[in-house]
Each structure stands twice: as C-alpha cells, then as structure tokens.
Structure 1
Amino acid sequence: MSEAPPSITLEAGKESIEELAEAAEAQFKRLVDIFNPKNNKLNFLLLALPITLYFNFQHSLQMAFVFSMIAIAPLAFLMGKATEEIALRTGEAVGGLLNATFGNAVEMIIAGMALYAASQNPDVVETMVTVTQASLIGSILGNLLLVLGLAMLYGGIKHSEQSFSNQSGQMNGALLVLAVVALIVPSAFHYNGGTSDAVMKLSYATALVLLFIYGCSLLFQLKTHVNEFSSGGHGGGHEDPEMSIKDAWILLILATVLVGWMAHILVHSLETTVEKWHLPELFIGVILVPFFGNAAEHFTAVLVAGKDKMDLSIAIAIGSSVQIALFVAPIMVLWGWVLGVPLPLEFGLLETVAAFGSVLITISILADGKTNWLEGVMSLACFAILGMAFFFA
C-alpha cells in the first residue's frame, strides 16, 4: 500500500492546525461576549476589578475593600450563569448538586478566606470570626427580607396579587426553623452554664447533623419526591443551553478564580477599613458583604417576580437561605475546626433574634400562598430596622 506524498500530509496537518486555531478563536469570542456589557448591564461593574487591583497595588486598602465588593457582584452572576448552563446538560440530580455547591459559593469563598486569614494572624481572629458569623446571618436576612421584599414589591406593583404553590415553601420554611433552632441551642447552652469548649463540641456535632439534614433534603427534592417540586416554575428542563459545556466550565473556573482573588483582597483590607472608617464589624458582615455577594441573585429574583413567576422568585430567596443555614454555615464551622480557628454556632443575641424574627415574618407572610406589594414593604421595613440596629451596634 503506497504512502501519501509528503506534500499531502503537510497540507492535511496545516488544515488541522488552522481548524484548531479557528475553533480556539471562536471559543475566545464566545467567552468575550459573555463579559460584554451590551449583553448584560451588570457586566459594567466588572470595571471595578482593575480598579480594585490598582488601589490594592497602591496600598489604598479602604478603596480596595469597596471596589472588591462591587467587583464580586458581576462575577457572582457569571458563576451562576455557568452553573445553570452546566445543570441544563447534566440532569436534575447533578444539576441540583451543582446549584447547591455553587449557589452560595461567594459566601463560602469570602468566609473561608476570612477564617484562613485568622489562622495565619492571631491578631485578627476576633474580627474575622465576627465578620464570618455576621455574613452568614446577613445572607439569611438579606434573602428572606431584602430579596423577597423587593420581589414582592416589584411583582405587586405590576400585578395586584400574585399566587404561588406553597409546597416547597412549607418544606423550606420548616428547614429554616430547624436551622434557627440549631443557632439558638448553643447560645442557650452557654447561658445555662456550658463552657466554651463544650459549646465548640456542641457546634461541631450540630454542624454534622445540619449537613446530614441538608443532604436528606436534596435527596427528597431531587430523587424521592421530585414530582412534587417539578411545578415550582423553574422550567429548567425546557431551556436550551446558550453555550457549550466546555465554555460553561471555563467560565465557571475563571469566575471562581476571580471571585477568590477579589475575596482575598476584601479580607486583607477588612481590618484596615474597620479601623480607619470606624465601621461596625457587624454592619459590614450582616449588610455590606451579603448585599454585594448576593447581588446577582437579588437581581434575578426581582426580575422573575415582575414576570409573575413568584414560585421561582421564592425558590431563589428561601432556597438560598436554606443553603446558607444548613450547608454553608456547617461547612465553615468544620473548616474553622480544620484550621484551628474556633467558629461556634453560638451567635450574638442581636444576630440570633434577627434570624429568628426574619424566618417568623417570612413564614407568616407566605402562609396564605399569596403576596402583594404591601407585604413587600413590610419585609423591607423590617430589614431597614435590623440594618440600623447593626449599624449602631
């Protein structure tokens, strides 16, 4: 059998190289389009990323702190976009696990970075632990009162009354009550005479129980009772992917790395910002960090409420709170254990009361399966009162 002439082999190799180059160029253009502000207005905030790097290089830590928080918002949106694209191709079980893992990845990265910084510098342990605990509580408050309040207000203005299926809301409400009880018990145990060591042991054991409950809830929703939750308005199975699976993974990895970079700068500049601007640590942790970290989720929940999709809006807000309470908080407690940084589930009195009150108000508002703009105003008013309390604390 005769061999192909060298000229033909070289030509075939040249064509394959050109095809690979064209494919790489096309892939690069698709990724650039994802970051294009014309396609998503939130991408304008990506300008905060190079500004953050500039101020960090100039050692202007207060400004680096501000712009790192702003830069995290669009990066969180891109992480969510990539996760949704991957979930569309992997099926409900794997997609649900990805959403559970990356849905609150920003909070996990910031809190994880803060605890790592505390493990490296004993002088900042108290500040970092306080901010980490506050950010966990703040994410719950922000989702239940701010996000849901804005969604009910915006949706109520466009539609006089909105109805939703309260099947998933009832279960998530029960999970939130369980989580709040888990936050109250260590505090009550301590006030009843329990030592700090005993409180930490109780926190570690409680964290493992909460993770077990969260795993059971995922199994319940995604496997054994999936039909009961398929009518929640998500519509994921009817959507067509907008990017290839490879592009989605590249975007997810890139956005996660950039979030980690911004979180590192944010944590590094946190102590200086607290000292120079005299901002309360609780206010930064409860209000500022969760607000920017969850900005993309806030935006999505409010928009879909305006389209009369309150099932989806409520699922985003309450589902995210459940993830924080039953997944992120326990993971951070155990991560602190690994690093040698004590992070108990014993929160301050104000934080505990705020969490319990927000869960109680949300469950009361959603009990009848209907929402209106006044209920949104009520939630926002409660969030404003708590925000002022943390500012003056």
Structure 2
Amino acid sequence: MSIKNIISLGLLVFIPISVAAEYLEWGSLVVFVTSAIAIVPLAIWLSTATEEVAIVAGPSIGGLLNAVFGNATELIIALVALKEGLIDIVKASITGTIISNLLLVMGLSMFLGGLRYKEQEFQPVVARVNGSTMTLAVVAILLPTTVIATSNVIDPVAITRLSITVAAVLIVVYALTVFFSLKTHSYLYEVGLADLEEEAPTTDHQLTEHKPNLPLWIGVLLMATIAVAFESEIFVGAVEEATKGLGLTPLFTGVILLPLVGGAAEYVTAVRVAIKNNMDLSVSVAMGSSLLVALLVAPILVLIGQVIGQPMDLNFNLFEVIAVAVAVAIANLISLDGRSNWLEGVLLLATYTVLGAAFYFHPV
C-alpha cells in the first residue's frame, strides 16, 4: 500500500472526531480544525475514485469525469458556504484556489522534482494553451471589478447582469477547452498519461489483474462526495466564528485557508508525479485545476446563487484580481520554455508566500 493511501486512510479517523466535536459542542475552533483535516482524506479518495473510474470508462468519458470531478471538493465547500450567505469567503476561495494551484502546487512540484532531477521538461504547447485560457479568465474576472471601480454610479442590477453574461461565456469557453483537449487536440495531452503507462504492468495477465473494480470505485466516488458535503456543512458552520477568534479576516480565510483544505488531492497528485519526473502531468494538474475553477466553478456559483436567493456577482476585491493576474503572469513566464528546475519552484513559492503575507495584513 502506498504512503498516500496509508495517510488518507489514517486521517479518516477525524470524521467521527469532527462529528463528535460538532454535536458535543467542543468549540468552534476544534470543530473547524477537525473538520478541515477530515475533508483532506475525503478529497484524496474522491480524486482517486475519479481516476480509477476514468481508467475503465476510457479516454473520452474518463477525461470528462476528471474535468467534472477534478475540483468537486472546492465546489462542494463553496456551494455550502454560498448557501450560508458567506459570499465574501466564497469569492475569496475562487481567487485563492487559482493562486494556490499556479504558485503553491506548481512551486512545490518544480522544487521537489528539481531536487531529484537537475532539469525537468514538459510540453510547452499545453502550458501555452492553458496560459492563454487563464489570461482570458483573468480578463473576464477583472471586467466587472473594473466597471465598478470606474463608474460614478453603481447599479447592482447591471453588475448582476454583467456577471451572468460573463459566467455564460466562461462556461462555453470551458466546454470548448474540454472538447479541444479530449477530441481535436487530444494528442497534446496524452504525453503525461503515456509516461504513467510505461510504469504500469504490460502483460495481459497483469493488466487483467490490475483492472480497477468499477462498482467498487463508483461506490467510493458516491460515498466520498456525500461525506465531503456532510463535512463541508460542519466546516463552513464553524469557519466564520473560528477564524474571527484567530483574528483572521474573511479575505485571508477564503484566499489561503479554504484552498489548502479543498485542494489537498491536487497537491498530492501534482507533487507525486513531479517527483517521478512526469512534469507534463504535474503542470496539467496545476493549470487544469485553475482553469476549472475560473471557467466552470466560478460561473456555476454565480448562476446557482441567483437560483437559491444568495446572489453572487463577479465583482471581486481589487487586490484579489491583482493577485490572480500576478500569479497567472508569473506562471506563464516560468512555463513558456517547457523546462523547470528547483530555483523556479522557489520563485513560485516565494511569490505565494509574499501574496499570503499581503492578504494576512490586508485591512478589512
């Protein structure tokens, strides 16, 4: 059994602990910490189950499953927070997830992979396509904020309509990027998977022996999704009071803390394959997760917010937008040549640390 599976199994003990903390009223801070830890192994199992089902389903359906469930944990947490009316935290978590994937996940991958290999290579074409799409997402997110910043009169109805329009465009763009990666230009995205297949068993007997148990993994997928939703209810219920008690602002909580909880699966996967010298897959996980949040999760939250009576627009804090633009620009610059080393990983991590400090000291 791998270290990843041992850790993810061991941390499941925090599920009953968090439930006990909630119902026995051990305090918001204890509930917050235990439920946050409980979500981490669930996120890992949700990601693992998606990957296993994708193997059996084949490249097209498997790719679609990964596209839909890739950031399911972040989406579930955000939906629960939106339902509770924590709109500022939800908005901050969107920008925070983009920033953490581009800077923290890619930074850790390049740093730890670079310590083992002097220089690592990946497909620059894929990085450029993802970078271009991320630039569009940043522009789309920036526009509603800019409209408000440059208007003398702020019309909430106009901002809402603009946000819905932008959300619809982003969803269409995401659908086209999925079609691009799975159909018309799928060969660009197969390199990372091919590297993994080289390590896999090759004989017919071994392939049959290692074929995933589809009913089992579908069950794990459903159970993990339900468990994440349940734990998210507990987590979100305690997050406001607990972070306020720690002196943390909703901005810092959403940008830094929530992505660390919801994005555990991406961190583990990206770093693990980078250490195996598969930077193609590592970069695709980091940048693909950012794209999923910017082009699908954020628009879905805008549309669902209108339906459930918790209207959310794309008018982000101006500093959040600047931070996302900085993260996208630096990630694009570093990934342009299709090569990475440990120093580039340090640069990404340093940028993330500086931005994290800025959000921590940012006035309310």
Compute the TM-score of the two structures, normalised by the length of structure 2: 0.92
- For residue 40 of structure 1, give the secondary structure of its aligned residue in structure 2: helix
* 1:99 lines up with 2:99 in the alignment: no
Match of 1:244 among 213, 216, 222: 213
Is 1:377–2:349 an aligned residue pair? no
> Residues of 1 paired with 2:218 and 2:19: CA distance?
25
Query: Is residue 2:322 matched to residue 1:362?
Result: no
Higher Rg of the two aligned structures:
1
Change (3 A) 1:242 1:285: farther
1:144 maps onto 2:113 in alignment:
no
Selected match of 1:212 from 172, 189, 203: 172
- One-letter amino acid of the structure 1 residue matched with residue 137 of structure 2: A
Structure 1 equivalent of residue 91 of structure 2 = 133
Task: Give the AA of the match of 1:142.
Answer: S
1:111 aligned partner: 78
Question: How far 1:234 sits from its partner (Å)?
Answer: 5.4
Aligned partner of 2:317 in structure 1 is 348
Following superposition, the deviation at residue 138 of structure 1 comes to 0.8
- CA deviation vs aligned residue, 1:313-333 (integer Å, no higher than 9, x gap): 101100110101001111111
Name structure 2 gaps, 5 residues minimum: 201-206
Of structures 1 and 2, the one scoring higher in RCO (CA 8 A, sep 6+) is: 2
CA distance in 2, matches of 1:196, 1:388: 32
Matching of residues 12-51 of structure 1 within 5 Å = 39-51=5-17
Question: Normalized against structure 1, the TM-score is what?
Answer: 0.86
Deviations 1:186-235 (A, max 9, x none): 01111222522211110001000000000011111111222232223455
Q: 2:181 aligns with which of 221, 233, 253?
A: 221
CA distance in 1, matches of 2:4, 2:117: 29
Deviations 1:232-252 (A, max 9, x none): 345577765553110011100
Seq. identity, %: 41
Deviation at 1:141, TM superposition (A): 0.7
Give the deviation of 1:272 after TM superposition.
1.7
Q: Distance in 1 between matches of 2:305 and 2:5?
A: 40
- Give 1:51 shift: 1.3
2:203 match:
none
Matched ranges for 1:5-16 at <5 A: none
Which amino acid letter does the alignment assign opposite residue 380 of structure 1?
L
Q: In 2, Cα distance between the equivalents of 1:285 and 1:85?
A: 31
8 Å Cα contact 2:192/2:278 also seen in 1 = no
Post-superposition shift, 1:302?
0.9
How many matched pairs? 350
Counterpart position of 2:357: 388
Task: For 1:199 and 1:237, locate their aligned partners in 2 and report how far apart those are by CA, in whole Å.
Answer: 48
Map 1:293-304 → 2, pairs under 5 A: 293-304=262-273
Work out whether 1:153 is the aligned partner of 2:122. no
- Which whole-Å deviations, capped at 9, do the CAs of 1:113-164 have from their partners, x for residues lacking one? 111122xxxxxxxxx1111011111111111000100110001111111111
Match of 1:86 among 53, 65, 71: 53
**Which residue identity does 2:192 align to in structure 1?**
G
Shift in CA distance, 39/351, structure 1 to aligned 2, threshold 3 Å: closer
1:253-332 pair list within 5 angstroms? 253-332=222-301
- Structure 1: how far apart are the matches of 2:194 and 2:306? 37
Q: Partners of 1:145 and 1:102 in 2: how far apart?
A: 22
CA distance 1:182–1:39, shift in 2 (3 Å): closer
Q: Distance in 1 between matches of 2:129 and 2:196?
A: 21
Question: Separation in 2 of the partners of 1:381 and 1:156?
Answer: 16
Structure 1 unaligned blocks of 5 or more: 1-32, 119-127
RMSD of the TM alignment (CA)? 1.7
The 8 Å contact of residues 136 and 329 in structure 1, kept in 2 or not, is answered as yes
| CA deviation vs aligned residue, 1:239-266 (integer Å, no higher than 9, x gap) | 6555311001110011111101110001
Structure 1, residues 343-365: CA drift from partner, whole Å, max 9, x if none?
Answer: 11111011101000000000000
Amino acid at match of 1:196: P
Q: Distance in 2 between matches of 1:321 and 1:39?
A: 25
Asked if the contact 1:133–1:347 (Cα under 8 Å) also holds between the matched residues in 2, the reply is yes
Cα distance between partner residues in 2 of 1:299 and 1:319:
15
The answer to whether the 8 A contact 2:114-2:341 is kept is yes
Residues of 1 paired with 2:84 and 2:117: CA distance?
Answer: 47
Instruction: Give the conservation status (yes or no) of the 8 Å contact 2:43–2:224.
Output: yes
**8 A contact 1:86–1:248 mirrored in 2:** yes
| Deviation at residue 269 of structure 1 after TM alignment | 1.1
Equivalent position of 2:18 in the other structure:
52
SS for the counterpart of 2:310 is: coil
Distance 1:382 1:38, change over 3 A: closer
**Aligned equivalents of 2:121 and 2:296: distance in 1?**
29
User: 1:37, 1:44 within 8 Å by CA — same for their partners in 2?
Assistant: no
- 1:100 offset after TM fit, Å? 1.1
Separation of aligned partners in 2, 1:324 and 1:340: 22
CA distance in 2, matches of 1:148, 1:135: 18
Q: 2:126 aligns with which of 155, 163, 168?
A: 168
- Hey, what's the Cα distance between the residues in 2 that align with 1:187 and 1:40? 44
Corresponding residue number in structure 2 for 1:203: 163
- Closer, same or farther: CA 61–242 of 1 in aligned 2, 3 Å: farther
Are residues 236 and 256 of structure 1, via their aligned partners in 2, closer, same or farther at CA, if it must alter by over 3 Å? farther
